[in-house]
Amino acid sequence: MQRAGDDMAVEVLQFLRAGERRRDQRYRSQQVRLSFLGGDYTALNWSRGGFLVIDRIPHLPVGTVVEGLLQVPGSEGRYCFSAELCRREPRTPEIGFRFISPSPALLAALSRTAERA
Protein backbone atom coordinates (compact mmCIF):
# COMPACT_ATOMS: atom_id res chain seq x y z
CA MET A 1 0.00 0.00 0.00
CA GLN A 2 1.37 3.40 -1.00
CA ARG A 3 1.48 6.18 1.62
CA ALA A 4 0.37 9.81 1.13
CA GLY A 5 3.99 10.99 1.40
CA ASP A 6 4.93 8.63 -1.43
CA ASP A 7 2.14 10.10 -3.57
CA MET A 8 3.44 13.61 -2.93
CA ALA A 9 6.99 12.56 -3.85
CA VAL A 10 5.73 11.12 -7.14
CA GLU A 11 3.86 14.38 -7.90
CA VAL A 12 6.95 16.45 -7.18
CA LEU A 13 9.09 14.27 -9.45
CA GLN A 14 6.56 14.56 -12.26
CA PHE A 15 6.62 18.36 -12.04
CA LEU A 16 10.40 18.47 -11.89
CA ARG A 17 10.61 16.36 -15.01
CA ALA A 18 8.27 18.78 -16.75
CA GLY A 19 10.58 21.68 -15.87
CA GLU A 20 8.27 23.11 -13.22
CA ARG A 21 9.80 23.62 -9.80
CA ARG A 22 6.54 24.25 -7.98
CA ARG A 23 4.07 21.57 -7.02
CA ASP A 24 1.11 23.98 -6.69
CA GLN A 25 -0.23 26.55 -9.15
CA ARG A 26 0.53 30.18 -8.25
CA TYR A 27 -2.15 32.87 -8.13
CA ARG A 28 -1.49 36.59 -8.47
CA SER A 29 -4.69 37.66 -6.79
CA GLN A 30 -3.90 39.98 -3.91
CA GLN A 31 -6.63 38.62 -1.68
CA VAL A 32 -4.43 36.76 0.79
CA ARG A 33 -3.37 38.82 3.80
CA LEU A 34 -0.76 37.69 6.30
CA SER A 35 0.51 38.86 9.67
CA PHE A 36 3.86 37.66 11.04
CA LEU A 37 6.89 39.03 12.86
CA GLY A 38 4.86 42.07 13.90
CA GLY A 39 4.02 43.14 10.33
CA ASP A 40 1.07 42.89 7.98
CA TYR A 41 1.60 41.75 4.38
CA THR A 42 -0.43 41.20 1.23
CA ALA A 43 0.71 38.26 -0.84
CA LEU A 44 2.08 39.24 -4.25
CA ASN A 45 1.34 35.69 -5.29
CA TRP A 46 0.45 32.54 -3.41
CA SER A 47 -0.34 28.87 -3.74
CA ARG A 48 -1.35 26.02 -1.49
CA GLY A 49 2.38 25.56 -0.94
CA GLY A 50 3.43 29.08 0.08
CA PHE A 51 3.49 32.78 -0.71
CA LEU A 52 5.60 35.68 -1.97
CA VAL A 53 5.63 39.08 -0.22
CA ILE A 54 7.54 42.36 -0.36
CA ASP A 55 10.75 42.03 1.66
CA ARG A 56 10.46 44.42 4.61
CA ILE A 57 12.69 42.24 6.80
CA PRO A 58 16.03 42.07 4.95
CA HIS A 59 17.89 40.90 8.06
CA LEU A 60 15.88 37.65 8.21
CA PRO A 61 18.04 34.74 7.01
CA VAL A 62 16.82 32.15 4.52
CA GLY A 63 15.76 29.07 6.47
CA THR A 64 14.03 31.04 9.24
CA VAL A 65 10.66 29.66 10.31
CA VAL A 66 7.91 32.17 11.07
CA GLU A 67 4.48 31.75 12.58
CA GLY A 68 1.56 33.96 11.82
CA LEU A 69 -2.03 34.43 10.78
CA LEU A 70 -3.49 34.30 7.29
CA GLN A 71 -6.78 35.81 6.18
CA VAL A 72 -8.65 35.01 2.99
CA PRO A 73 -11.64 37.12 1.91
CA GLY A 74 -14.75 35.01 1.72
CA SER A 75 -13.56 32.74 4.54
CA GLU A 76 -14.47 33.46 8.12
CA GLY A 77 -11.71 33.90 10.62
CA ARG A 78 -7.97 33.78 10.35
CA TYR A 79 -5.79 30.73 9.97
CA CYS A 80 -2.60 30.03 11.93
CA PHE A 81 0.38 29.02 9.83
CA SER A 82 4.06 28.22 10.05
CA ALA A 83 6.27 28.90 7.05
CA GLU A 84 9.94 28.79 6.18
CA LEU A 85 11.71 31.62 4.35
CA CYS A 86 12.99 29.65 1.38
CA ARG A 87 13.91 32.32 -1.15
CA ARG A 88 15.11 35.89 -1.25
CA GLU A 89 14.93 37.42 -4.71
CA PRO A 90 18.16 39.43 -5.20
CA ARG A 91 16.83 41.52 -8.12
CA THR A 92 13.60 42.55 -6.45
CA PRO A 93 12.65 43.23 -2.84
CA GLU A 94 10.63 40.00 -2.55
CA ILE A 95 10.83 36.93 -0.31
CA GLY A 96 9.21 33.54 -0.71
CA PHE A 97 7.92 31.29 2.05
CA ARG A 98 6.77 27.67 1.98
CA PHE A 99 4.09 26.50 4.38
CA ILE A 100 5.11 23.93 6.96
CA SER A 101 2.37 21.37 7.68
CA PRO A 102 -0.55 23.64 6.77
CA SER A 103 -3.83 22.73 8.46
CA PRO A 104 -6.65 21.16 6.45
CA ALA A 105 -8.75 24.28 7.18
CA LEU A 106 -6.05 26.59 5.75
CA LEU A 107 -5.67 24.44 2.63
CA ALA A 108 -9.45 24.37 2.14
CA ALA A 109 -9.66 28.18 2.42
CA LEU A 110 -6.85 28.61 -0.13
CA SER A 111 -8.49 26.09 -2.46
CA ARG A 112 -11.81 27.97 -2.30
CA THR A 113 -9.99 31.21 -3.09
CA ALA A 114 -8.17 29.56 -6.00
CA GLU A 115 -11.49 28.46 -7.45
CA ARG A 116 -12.68 32.10 -7.42
CA ALA A 117 -9.43 33.46 -8.91
- The count of structural domains within the chain is 1
16 within domain boundaries:
no
Query: In this structure, is residue 48 part of a structural domain?
Result: yes
Residue 14, CB-side half-sphere exposure with 13 Å CA sphere = 8
pLDDT score of 14 more than 50: no
In a domain, residue 19? The reply is no
Q: pLDDT (tens digit, 9 = 90+) per residue, 40-49?
A: 999 999 999 9
Q: Is residue 36 part of a domain?
A: yes
So what's the pLDDT on residue 22? 53
Provide the domain limits for residue 41.
24-116
CATH number of the domain encompassing residue 50: 2.40.10.220
What's phi and psi for 87, nearest 5 deg? Answer: -155, 135
Strands (E), the chain: 33-36, 39-42, 45-47, 50-54, 65-71, 79-89, 94-99
Per the domain annotation, does 10 fall within a domain?
no
pLDDT of 63 higher than 80: yes
Residue type, 52: L
